Structure 1
Amino acid sequence: MSETLERPVDTAVGGIAADRLRSIIERVERLEAERKALTGDIGDIFAEAKSAGFDVKVIRQLLRLRRREPAEVEAEETLLAIYRRALGL
């Protein structure tokens, strides 16, 4: 009588847990799809801002500034003002 061995649910192939790897890949794929959707939504908001007369380039600069520490921004602005005065701008 020959016995058939069934593979466990978390199959290891070449020392790799295939089910775990598949799970990780599928999670990344889902997040990439969400990111793509969010990128589209953000683009729509920028288009809305532009159609309302706002300068999108300036809005992007403001968003970058808001992500930084206030002290860092202040130090950079102070240095920029000094450089401008030195160049007569």
Structure 2
Amino acid sequence: MSADMQGHNSAVGGIAVEKLRSYIERWEKLDEEKRAISGDQKDLMSMAKADGFDVATIKQIIRMRKKDPNEIEEQETLLDIYRRALGMG
């Protein structure tokens, strides 16, 4: 292999080609896994819906479980204030 070809495989313009290729391929693999997981999540929500659960409410509960309890309390307090201000409760 010529020196030019060997340099082309290992670095181009100061870029480590194999390392770059590795990052791109890892990203692509993670992207495939993310699509598969997203499909699994959709299937799970379809099963929950078929069992009579409200999917929007389930998703809201999931979002809430990710939050700090103080943040949830503050949000619920504001929601209550806004509802009362609008004569909704």
Q: TM-score, normalised by structure 2?
A: 0.87
Partner of 1:85: 84
Moved more, 50-59 or 79-88: 79-88
CA drift of 1:79 comes to 1.3
Separation (CA, whole Å) in 1 of partners of 2:13 and 2:74: 55
Q: Normalised by the size of structure 1, how large is the TM-score? A: 0.87
- Residue segments in structure 1 that go unaligned for 5+ positions in a row: none
Q: Per-residue CA shift, 1:23-80, capped at 9, x if unaligned? A: 0000000100100110110011000000000010111111111111110010110111
2:48 maps to amino acid: A
Size of the aligned set, in residue pairs, is 85
Structure 2 gaps of 5+ residues are none
Letter in 2 for 1:79: L
Aligned to 2:31: 32
Aligned to 1:47: 46
Find the aligned partners of 1:23 and 1:38 in 2 and give their Cα distance. Answer: 22
Aligned-partner residue type, residue 78 of structure 1? T
State the alpha-carbon separation in 2 of the partners of residues 35 and 41 from structure 1. Answer: 10
- Which runs of structure 2 are paired with 1:16-31 in the superposition (5 Å)? 16-31=15-30
Paired residue type of 2:35? K
> More helix by proportion, 1 or 2?
2
Return the letter of the residue paired with 1:28: W
Output the CA distance in 2 between the equivalents of 1:40 and 1:87: 40
